[in-house]
Structure 1
């Protein structure tokens, strides 16, 4: 049973600050919004302070305290940084979600179309999916997303880069916009999809039979 207890996190003096992601050891990341400009905030476990990591939104945090931003920056707990690598022929990469050491997102090809991309924990490209937008992925090669740049009435599941199935009526509802307040979805280690169905206010999950 939860007891009535909470504590305020230290926060910047100006702007509105939000906590968005938490790992098992207690590290927290979120963002501060000051006049429409957002910066990533990081609260290390056990600390009485915080760090500003950089501009943008965090799209996840792993058990080492590593944070990935929507713009593709990687912030390690020891203060070092890295970046998601841009696949050859693509520009403008966007990270949508970082979970269990895997980042899902997309880039833009020379014709202006989207290409789904999956990266490992240190930013190496694992998979690219032409004509797609990736929302979530797991370490076993299962990717959730949709074809093209808008979700429409169905979503797709890829396994090791190949289309495995299309889910319709109802389908998992999520947004490709990398904002902590947008609709979210996740793919678990065993391939289950957790989301709220489109048009139905009931949290659900989908599992491969």
Structure 2
């Protein structure tokens, strides 16, 4: 990631002027979903690139050091070696972008990656994931714990009460959802969010990144724009 987003003063007048044309967004989403898939000879390259953007994640209530270790092994080599060799990609260092775990499992992930001589980053959810409904002091303690144990990225769940009452927060990237809802990342929501990121960049010159959260049953369901 490039330089941190330093944030700006809260401008309620700017926010009050934000409008979303729902029908236009839905039409754009339908157009994107109707685009042709990459040509057959490029599909493998596209999928390998997509794999390199994934934060491989386990956020289960029964997470243990052993399944976190398996996650790390998979993140270091997300595609079978024999397949990579057939594509002459076995020595290109293909990994996922990071592994993501609960704060209490960060040390396990760091230990497994270090043992494998991997510099793959460890991300962690914090601040009362997935609801954000815990006291501020508890949320801050979670962040400190995860960073102390080696996390280099913190996925923070905002307190939606604050957002719904106009008490906004800033970030280096924004996510579509926690991945724990019945409906997570959707094309219309992603479009609205990336356009907000674009407007913020044009206004301030500061980049904020977009993180799509959820599960996809097949590669053709991955967002392409």
Tell me the TM-score normalised to structure 2 length.
0.26
The one of the two structures with greater contact order (alpha-carbon pairs below 8 A, sep at least 6) is: 2
Higher strand share: 1
Between structures 1 and 2, the one with greater helix share: 2
| TM value normalised by structure 1 | 0.27
